[in-house]
Chains A and B, each alone.
Chain A
Amino acid sequence: MVDPMIVKIADNITSPLGFTTEENYQAVKRGDTRLQRFVNKWSLPEPFIASLFEEGTLESAFNHRVKATLPYTRFEQMALLSAIEAITRSGIDAASERCIFILSTTKGNISLLEQGVEGVPDDRLQLSETARAIARFFGNRAEPMVVSNACASGVCVQIVAMRYLESGRYDHAVVIGADIQSPFIVSGFASFKALSPTACQPFSENRMGLNLGEAAATMVLRRVDEAKGYWQLADGAIRNDAHHISSPSKAAEGSFRALEAVLRRCPLTEELAVINAHGTATLYNDEMEAKAIERAGLLAIPVNAYKGNYGHTMGAAGVLETILTMRGLDEGTILPTRGFDELGVSKPIRVTKECLTTDRQAFIKLISGFGGTNAALRCVKV
């Protein structure tokens, strides 16, 4: 009897940089971004920089791809576009009772608080209702779950899905990370003084905060006895800082403990190609992650982050960034960190400026968020 393993059999990224993983991968490899400055958008008093879909592109892509009989919100259209592509590529029967949908989002359809969408019931503001609408689109009747751990959700969701599949109740999990930008989220982060007035610069000396972004990313996961040729979610851990609800621990306590946990069954850290960091480009987050990496003894491993391409896509970030890192390593590439120039954290981490090549087939994804939640995920391709 072998322990079951959880592998990714298909994926998709739907973002302002493209509607497939491949388009997104090539864009990030080139160093592209759709980050731009918005003035008077949504009548907000302050300008802000964000990575948003050009007006109408999401809706027209959805109408082109999907002959939907029911109305969906912009958030749901984005999540569905991503899920449809990933599920089609996987070849699974998403309607099967052996398949579960697990969503990762922070604010889902929060815009419905401000303005309704014609034909969409008001209760779709509830995250469980929007998750149901997405699962039902595929004919799936199992009750979906929604993981909502603020900005750390996208890694926590993979850990929840991994364990749930290991328990044997389901064969497949469709994991969807998604968040749309809105006046609600932008004004919230602005009130925290967390937004950078320039394109964000992860880990850099002159970093001034984060940019927000919107995206959806989907992974189809399967329980297997033989993982050969697939990316395996090998180990994951979630830990709290027990420090502050909106600022990270100076000692990086939670992030360090999460890292330490995913290394327990990985004695050979030289097998790791890269640590894909959260790298939001806020002063405190990036410093904290550098500290966690140092404490875990991983200063020799290259570090990268994709917020300079996408901004912070919140509930999508952990899923999207895991997929991109896997895609890069599939062809021996460690992706660059757009926006990074001079190292501006106190520990000498090796942040990638340009693409690097590697023959290593393992990495760690790090993430952190409000509520003191930190998570780490170790992925291996065998």
Chain B
Amino acid sequence: MKTIHEINIDNSSAVIDGKRIDTSRSGSQMLTELYRIYVNDYPKFFKMDILCKLGFIASELLLQAEGAPRFTDRADRADRAILFFNHSSSIQADKAFEETIRDRSDFFPSPSVFVYTLPNIVTGEIAIRNHYYGETNFIILNERDDERIRQVTEAAFTDPTTTSAIAGWIEAPDNHHFTAALKLITK
């Protein structure tokens, strides 16, 4: 496996291939700032929960670094895999949904909140954005374990269709604390 580009985002910084991207905000506001500057053509971003926003922005910056034509159905792109790992699953969305059902006399569960209580939704959001029909997978570990992530990613490349992947750690326990450490990897 070969790492082509990598991105690291936390609640106050975004670093692509070791180079820091200028930002003035922090937390989820920083993700919105990055969206406005570097994306700005995908209003679905504003509907996403924090985990999806983080994964979306990280993948956008990673793919912009790749510099290849976007949104093509070329097989080497269309078969790209998305392999994510974290600790807290979709806890922020879980708490938000729980708030809508806690009081049975003020009961307002909404499908647009519930859907984000599944951690793998972020992999689907990125697949939809980029027309990726490859493998998507979400695995929960007790803590960030880069060796374990490498092993599972390497094992995913035994699928002969998979020749590249966006893979790594994506953790967002709440709107103010998050980490993404994603790599664009080829076989």
Contacts and interface: CB of A to CB of B under 8 A. Distances in A.
B168 interface: no
Contacts of B127: 240-242, 372
B97 to A, nearest CB: 7
Interface stretch (B9-17, B57-65, B101-109, B175-183): B101-109
Contact of B98 (A114, A129, A191, A372): A114
B35 interface: no
Interface stretch (A19-27, A158-166, A321-329): A158-166
Nearest to B145: A143
Interface in A309-340: none
B152 A191 contact: no
Interface string B145-187: 1001001101110111100000000000000000000000000
Contact of A246 (B82, B115, B131, B142): B115
Interface string B90-120: 0100110110011010010111001101111
B27 interface: no
A126 interface: yes
A113 B94 contact: yes
Interface in A112-131: 113-114, 125-129, 131
B73 to A, nearest CB: 10
A283 interface: no
Given A150-B120, A240-B124, A241-B133, A145 B141 contact: yes
Interface in B54-92: 82, 87-89, 91
A129 B130 CA distance: 34
A304 interface: no
A149 interface: yes
B59 to A, nearest CB: 13
A240 B159 contact: no
A164 B155 contact: yes
Interface residues of B, number: 53
Given A188-B97, A245-B125, A239 B135 contact: yes
Given A148-B89, A372-B124, A191 B111 contact: yes
A45 interface: yes
Nearest to B154: A167
Contacts of B125: 245
A160 B139 contact: yes
A288 to B, nearest CB: 14
Interface string A128-167: 1101100000000001111111100000100010011011
Interface stretch (A50-58, A253-261, A293-301): A253-261
Nearest to A108: B89
A145 B139 contact: yes
B32 interface: no
A195 to B, nearest CB: 12
A129 B143 CA distance: 10
Most chain B CB atoms below 10 A, which of A169, A243, A246, A371: A371
5 contacts: A110-B94, A148-B118, A237-B135, A243-B128, A370-B118
Task: Give 3 closest A-B pairs by Cβ, nearest first.
Answer: A371-B124, A188-B114, A163-B155
Interface of B: 82, 87-89, 91, 94-95, 97-98, 101-102, 104, 107, 109-111, 114-115, 117-121, 123-125, 127-128, 130-143, 145, 148, 151-152, 154-156, 158-161
